[in-house]
Chains A and B, each alone.
Chain A
Amino acid sequence: MNVLVLAEHEQGTLASATLSAVTAARALGGDVVMLVLSAPGDAIAQAAAAVPGIARVLHAEAPWFAQPTAENVAATALDAIARGQYSHVVAAATSFGKNAMPRIAAKLDAAQVSDITAINAPDTFVRPIYAGNAFATVRSSDPIKVVTVRATAFDPAGASGGQASIDTIAAAPEVPAAKVVGQARTKSARPELTSARVVISGGRGLGSGENFKLLEALADKLNAAIGASRAAVDAGYVPNDYQVGQTGKIVAPDLYVAIGISGAIQHLAGMKDSKVIVAINKDPEAPIFQIADYGLVGDLFEVVPALTAELDR
């Protein structure tokens, strides 16, 4: 029996979260087969074949995979699953994986296990529930287990050195009922939020989008990604993809700096596995201080510029 990993990629590069899913897949036993869906002419299958620990790459090309819908991804994945011998289907719990995997699971009559943080046995997984306030250990009885993986809980596999074979497979016919008709990607020269080693996050305390410039100056010094609380996103200070938390992105950098964020459980759910947490808040009672390694009580409009300056010394 083999493990099928559904790959996510952009501009010829596998998502770092997919490399974490590979690490999880390797802990399940059997050969790891990676399913790569791409637009024609994309060199991504070669990149997938170079991941150590992958036995085989299945590559399907179709124009509509340039902007993959869950419908099209599931259709081709289900074809591939039907033609192989799989014990598990695995993907990262990113917006791509969350969108497509339950569609695959339902068609397999499998109860997906979402967002796993540990594998106790090939059928037994640990996953956070209630915004990470509890961890459930669950056992799946499905013949094909469908699992999404929390990327921060598994170190990413390497991206080079492997020599998997590449099998070209046919894409399933296009599902016309859903089409991607527009994209507004947030442009940033910064490291990607979920894999950055340093994250600087701002909350409602910033007061405006304009004031996030203060965080940018600090982030520049630390080669950091910028994140935000839900309140900052809801207020329109920063785009939606900055949101860290239970219902946003999960991050676990070496250093997380929470600035003007109170520390609601929904926010903590997305960052409390960071190695070192710094909190800057003018309210000494703010709950964020309870989980911060280094809490600094003060007005962020004074503290942040001073901190940025201090880093030059």
Chain B
Amino acid sequence: MKVLVCVKRVIDFNVKVRVRSDGSGVETSNVKMSMNPFDEIAVEEAVRLRERGIASEIVAVSCGTAACQETLRAALALGADRAVLVETDTALEPLAVAKLVAALVRQEAPQLVILGKQAIDDDANQTGQMLAALLDWPQATFASKLQIADGKADVTREVDGGLETVEVTLPAVVTTDLRLNEPRYATLPNIMKAKKKPMQTLSAQSLGVDVTPHVTLIRVDEPAGRKGGGRVADVKELVAKLRNEAKVLPPA
């Protein structure tokens, strides 16, 4: 079974993001970029499926500028077999990514597409669900456990009330949650090997997809600051302040 994995290049989760002073966006120059952490989990899960003999081929896909090749190389180093860059300079919204990946899925015919549940830059949490809708495939989002047998996937999902298990018929879309697995680190030999693995570049136009944004960014602002840093010496002072100053606890 072929598995497609989507990987997005994002500002590294450890970077303290700064809003540009002109309000046009956040500072991206000289900032460390990495694979979206949920996508590392997606790649790891695909690799484990291959190690269990369920997946036969893993294709990593990234949509965006040529710089996404770096992210794809990272996916290859983690164990993907080949990579496809869907190249465009247009800023992509989740709907456009879903359309591009849907077009690629029609060419590649995988049985499973794994994405992250959320990109930590736009925090949209949309692409996987949209992809499933465009393909008319079932979806299993926010996965913390994935089992595949007999043309079906049994997926445990992290939901607001606890856990839910869904059974979806393949082909299907799965999006990863944090507890699905703990991604491995790429070893040096695997990083070297990844350099020789095939990477194909397609243009967004060649997939026949219109990526014109539907949503315009008007402005980006800093969050309203919070005045913190207050200290109390002990529990007595804390309770007194919560009662009398903050008034969030009833008076004694």
Selected from B124, B132, B214, the residue in CB contact (under 8 A) with A140 is B214
Residue tally, chain A, CB below 8 Å to B: 91
CA distance A298 to B220 in the complex (A): 38
Whether B52 is near chain A, meaning CB under 8 Å from some CB there, is no
- Known pairs A112-B124, A134-B26, A289-B231; list 12 more (Cβ under 8 Å): A98-B129, A102-B94, A104-B133, A111-B213, A111-B214, A114-B124, A132-B223, A139-B218, A178-B139, A184-B162, A233-B179, A276-B248
Contacts of B177 in A (CB 8 A): 240, 247
* B132 pairs with A247, CB closer than 8 A: no
- Could you name 15 residue pairs across A and B whose Cβ atoms are closer than 8 Å? A103-B129, A106-B129, A111-B94, A114-B123, A129-B26, A134-B221, A178-B139, A186-B162, A240-B162, A247-B120, A255-B248, A290-B229, A294-B246, A295-B230, A296-B232
**CB 8 Å contact bits of B100-123 with A (1 = contact, 0 = none):** 000000000000000001101111
Dominant secondary structure at the B interface: mixed
Q: Are A296 and B238 in touch, CB under 8 angstroms?
A: yes
Interface locus among A22-30, A58-66, A69-77: A69-77
Q: Please determine whether A98 and B141 come into contact, CB atoms closer than 8 angstroms.
A: yes
Chain A CB within 8 A of B1 CB: no
Query: Are B228 and A293 touching (Cβ within 8 A)?
Result: yes
Within 8 A of A (CB), among B164-187: 164-169, 172, 177-179
Q: Which of B12-20, B56-64, B197-205 faces chain A?
A: B12-20
Once the chains are docked, how many angstroms separate the CA of A98 from the CA of B123? 11
**How far, in angstroms, from A233 to B18 measured CA to CA in the complex?**
29
Contact pattern, A 182-215, Cβ under 8 Å of B = 1, otherwise 0: 1111100000001000100000000000000000
Bound form: Cα–Cα A294–B231 in Å: 5
Chain B residue total in the interface (Cβ 8 A): 83
Partner among B13, B163, B249, B252 whose Cβ is within 8 Å of the Cβ of A222: B249
Known A-B contacts A182-B165, A310-B239, A313-B252; the reply to A106 vs B130 at CB < 8 A is yes
The listed residue (B134, B248, B249) touching A106 by CB distance below 8 A is B134
B45 is an interface residue with CB less than 8 A from chain A: no
User: With A102-B94, A105-B95, A135-B223 in contact, do A240 and B179 touch (Cβ < 8 Å)?
Assistant: yes
